[in-house]
Structure 1
Amino acid sequence: MEAIKKRTIYHDIFHWKDFRLKVFVEGSIIGLLAGIVTVMFRYSLEAAGTLRGQIYGYLKTGGMIPIVAWFIVLILIGVIVGLIVRRDPMARGSGIPEVEGILAGQLKMKWPSVIVSKFVGGVLAIGAGLSLGREGPSIQLGAAVGQGFSRLLGRRRMEEKYLITSGASAGLAAAFNAPLAGAIFALEEVHKTFSPAILMSAVAASLTSDFVTEWVFGMKPIFAFPALAVLPFRYYGYLIGLGVITGLFGVLFNRTLVKTLNTYDAISFLPRSLLPVLPLLAGGLLGLVLPQTLGGGHELINSLARIHFSLMMLIVLVVVKFAFTMISYGSGVPGGIFLPLLVVGALTGDIYGHLIVAYFSANPQYVTNFIVLAMAAYFAAIVKAPITGSILITEMTGSFQHLLALIAVSMTAYIVTDVLNSKPIYEELLERVLTKKGKRNPSLGAEGKSPAGGKQVITEVAVCLGSQLEGKRIKDVSWPAHSLIVSIRRGDEEIIPNGNTRILAGDNMYTLVDEARLGEVKAVFRHLAGEPDA
């Protein structure tokens, strides 16, 4: 049986065009399924948000008894969400670090449990008003759908990775009506490398998922900025200042989030399952005095284009939204940080726009531009995926005329975070998860101990320009143990390597490894090939 599996793996590699077509078709199916699940999740959140608004509207005039009753409901929701997370720890938080850990062979996921837990827990937590986004849960839900499709049809580990990636891309596309961002996210953030097979399957999944979303919610961008003028070149000098500020704030966001998680871990006066009660009670108070800060913040971003908030009000909103996001995410409830960080970025851009209008006599009509640009820059600073951020904001605003300014400000923010040695937030969060599970050292294998071998899988690594492998022959490289290079893809050319085969930049190398050693071997290969750490 093992010999048959190996022959099938080799068949996929040596018939690469057929395999790419296969994952393209399967990606389309997964996109359809993940799109349906994500649309249901998104629809449930919108319904919960509408109900929440009605409840707080009534509480302001209903007297003390309804307020006390509502806070009791919030406590019950906190207990339920805490029990859900306790039962399935993979449902905690955003879900994006967990997906990356699964694809790296460092974590395992039970897809039926994740779909139910993430869906129910996310609707309860975000619907009740916590400052969390739908995108992280949507990505994990899509990834779980991809894994479920793979497991039900008996797909191999190599193929399953593509299908999980397809589902994750479909989840992001459906969450934000952003099919291009969904595909780029798979390359830039999830895999941190370019692969034609990943691109084909991710694009197929994102497009079909977006089709489902637009069929249900309509063909319109998420954010409504109808009068967004093109920023003149004479204003591009202001982009440097905005990029520096958002870069610094991005570093603050990442470090504060990690410290908040550590603070929650140190709490001893409450059981872990009751921690969600704390942010929900805080959200209840905010709902009575500052309801704009509740939920992901989609409505708040749209209101910035319609309502002229005072500078003091904007400062209050950004401080409260920042703090409430930390408190919400730190508790470990299901929910993402994409949308809340975009809100903080938008408020920062609005403040920046007010200041340059007041002190540098800038035209007030371009304040909205700085709101949009700051969202992309803040995303680039926190997630450290500037291309994904630029494409995402472009699709979410429905305007491709601002791509140059978006990339310019995003790269400025990215450079600032690089100078300050700030890690991508999802990489830091994954490290925390692995550390808690005793798996931080990739040499310890999938179960935290040195494995003796087992099921073999294929891993793909791209050779980067200027890496240690570029220009060398196979026999001149010290390869990691328990690995076998079985194929090199050079464009459409298939190369069966031998000791004298020379490696070139742009090659995609396929290596057969023990699944239990996947994290260890892949980390070594990424280092040799010049890829960023996963």
Structure 2
Amino acid sequence: MTADRDPRRPSERRRDPQPLLRRRIASGRGAMEQPNATGDGPLRLDVRFWVLVVAVGVAGGLFGVALTAVLDAVVHLAYGGTVAGFAAAVQEASWARRLVVLAVAGLVTGVGWALLRRFAAGRPADLDDAVWTGTGELSFRRSSVSSLLSMVAVGAGASLGREAGPKLMGAVSGSLLSRWAGTPPEQRRLLVACGAGAGMAAVYNVPVGGALIAAEVLLGSITLPVVLPALACSTVATVAAWVYLPVQATYADVPAFPVTATQVVWALVAGPVVGLLAVAWTRLVGWVSEHRVRGRWAALGPLVGFAALGGVAVAFPQLLGNGQDLAEGAFLGTVPLGLALVLVALKPLVTALCLGSGATGGLFTPTLATGAVLGVVLGSAWELAWPGGPAGGYALVAAAAFLAAATQAPLSALVLVVELTRTADSLVVPVALAVAGATVVARYVDGYSIYSARLPRTAPTADGDEPARRVEGAG
């Protein structure tokens, strides 16, 4: 049994560096006892570091603006619309035009990514690896070209998220500025994570959610030396992005749903179910990452994958794009149950198809959209037994739970859904219940996230191509 600490001994949690007020308060504890407010440790948040945080935030916001402008230009060229009106522009386009656009985009991006893998091999461009196992070093050349190709793919209608490019370029900003300033690896990793969160915050107008992505997902720490720079960086990036991007919420038309008893009980029951389905989705992501097209056929993989998506989209054009319009329709209660039953199966499959073809893109919004239509299905079934909950409310709760379980980031998922809608706080109790239940089940059953499932192996494959996914426990 461990003896109680002698109150006369100095605390193990001394602040370093020391606060400006050297005289401690009357408690007699000569240190900061609150666990999240202890010393900076190797991070050393000095004046130079804070200047870098602001600079990374500005750069992350402007990269988000530039890449969104590229995305708008691609959507306008392909369908005559913009990201804000993507669904309407796609619906008005003929199936033949959609198929041609996707095939051309697949050819262009496939050749581009194949050339990158050949001529920029060894240059780091994997954000998660750079933060989790590396020193925060990222290649500007490879990352910038890959981000541009990703925006072309998403703008043409590939079922991938648009956040991958802005997150990566925000992270690259942190990597380059920390290299220029000569910061130690600990600070560099923090700046890279802050830059990634800032890039996401900028394009979705979610400063707190972006900060939590940096802290909870990338760094796994909710201490002040992590949260403060992450929040400052994401906020600066969000404000910088307002020069081009809208100030309102991404899902601005979602009403504030009332809390009902049936929804609270449904959240308790549905959370574990959503968690199990999120495990299946995460495993699918891992499988297609392991078996994506490689070698001599890598340049043609996106062409075939995007064309196949275009073929499926002849009947279901809602599958095109990252899924933002699909999620909004589910939140507004305009997705019929029959269509939701089809899309809840097809959306993850076509997203996995695009990912397995060798394309690079995000999974945030496709995951959110899948969770939203899953909520339509599960909520409709629940309403048969205990009616009284709004359809959009079920979709919103399930979207947060599915995102939380798939990312293993419950706080980030909850806050992101609130910030994306600015109205979901009315459902914060059922959202929190479902998020907790889904994340616990996913963590207990499997423990992977859609980010860790995509991690590369530590050794290259036999064909000399980029490494495949690391498999824990593999001999």
TM over 0.5: yes
SS at match of 2:359: coil
1:383 to 399, 403, 407: 407
**AA in 1 matched with 2:400:** A
Cα displacement string for residues 241-269 of structure 1 (whole angstroms, at most 9, x for unaligned residues)? 2212211110100111222233335x77x
1:423 to 448, 458, 462: 448
Equivalent position of 1:126 in the other structure = 154
Equivalent position of 1:263 in the other structure = 291
1:292 to 318, 322, 326: 318
1:220 to 248, 253, 265: 248
1:181 to 205, 209, 219: 209
**AA in 2 matched with 1:416:** V
Equivalent position of 1:253 in the other structure = 281
SS at match of 1:222: coil
The answer on whether the counterparts of 2:331 and 2:372 sit within 8 Å (CA) in structure 1 is no
For 2:360 and 2:407, locate their aligned partners in 1 and report how far apart those are by CA, in whole Å.
19
Cα displacement string for residues 386-423 of structure 1 (whole angstroms, at most 9, x for unaligned residues)? 01110111101112333232221101001111231332
For 1:48 and 1:28, locate their aligned partners in 2 and report how far apart those are by CA, in whole Å.
30
CA 1:281 to 1:219, structure 2 compared with 1: closer, same or farther past 3 Å? Answer: same
CA 1:305 to 1:73, structure 2 compared with 1: closer, same or farther past 3 Å? Answer: same
Given the alignment of the two structures, is residue 283 of structure 1 paired with residue 309 of structure 2, yes or no?
yes
SS at match of 2:426: coil
Equivalent position of 1:506 in the other structure = none
Structure 2 gaps, min length 5: 1-14, 19-38, 81-88, 463-475
The answer on whether the counterparts of 1:239 and 1:408 sit within 8 Å (CA) in structure 2 is yes
Given the alignment of the two structures, is residue 346 of structure 1 paired with residue 372 of structure 2, yes or no?
yes
For 2:415 and 2:93, locate their aligned partners in 1 and report how far apart those are by CA, in whole Å.
40
For 1:90 and 1:376, locate their aligned partners in 2 and report how far apart those are by CA, in whole Å.
36
For 1:313 and 1:348, locate their aligned partners in 2 and report how far apart those are by CA, in whole Å.
11
Give the drift of 1:21: 4.2
Give the drift of 1:207: 0.5
The correspondence of residues 135-154 of structure 1 with structure 2, limited to 5 A, is 135-154=163-182
Equivalent position of 1:81 in the other structure = 112
The correspondence of residues 492-503 of structure 1 with structure 2, limited to 5 A, is none
For 2:457 and 2:355, locate their aligned partners in 1 and report how far apart those are by CA, in whole Å.
14
Given the alignment of the two structures, is residue 60 of structure 1 paired with residue 94 of structure 2, yes or no?
yes
For 1:90 and 1:401, locate their aligned partners in 2 and report how far apart those are by CA, in whole Å.
48
Give the drift of 1:383: 0.9
Give the drift of 1:69: 5.5
Equivalent position of 1:408 in the other structure = 433
Equivalent residues, number? 415
The answer on whether the counterparts of 1:141 and 1:171 sit within 8 Å (CA) in structure 2 is yes
The correspondence of residues 98-247 of structure 1 with structure 2, limited to 5 A, is 98-106=126-134, 109-247=137-275
For 1:277 and 1:145, locate their aligned partners in 2 and report how far apart those are by CA, in whole Å.
31
More strand, by proportion: 1
CA 1:229 to 1:339, structure 2 compared with 1: closer, same or farther past 3 Å? Answer: same
Structure 1 gaps, min length 5: 1-11, 439-534
For 1:333 and 1:391, locate their aligned partners in 2 and report how far apart those are by CA, in whole Å.
29
CA 1:306 to 1:423, structure 2 compared with 1: closer, same or farther past 3 Å? Answer: closer
For 1:108 and 1:421, locate their aligned partners in 2 and report how far apart those are by CA, in whole Å.
28
Give the drift of 1:237: 0.9
The answer on whether the counterparts of 2:98 and 2:310 sit within 8 Å (CA) in structure 1 is no
For 1:131 and 1:227, locate their aligned partners in 2 and report how far apart those are by CA, in whole Å.
27
Cα displacement string for residues 77-104 of structure 1 (whole angstroms, at most 9, x for unaligned residues)? 2433333542446899xx7xx3232124
TM-score, scaled relative to structure 1: 0.71
Given the alignment of the two structures, is residue 331 of structure 1 paired with residue 357 of structure 2, yes or no?
yes
Give the drift of 1:304: 2.7
Give the drift of 1:48: 2.3
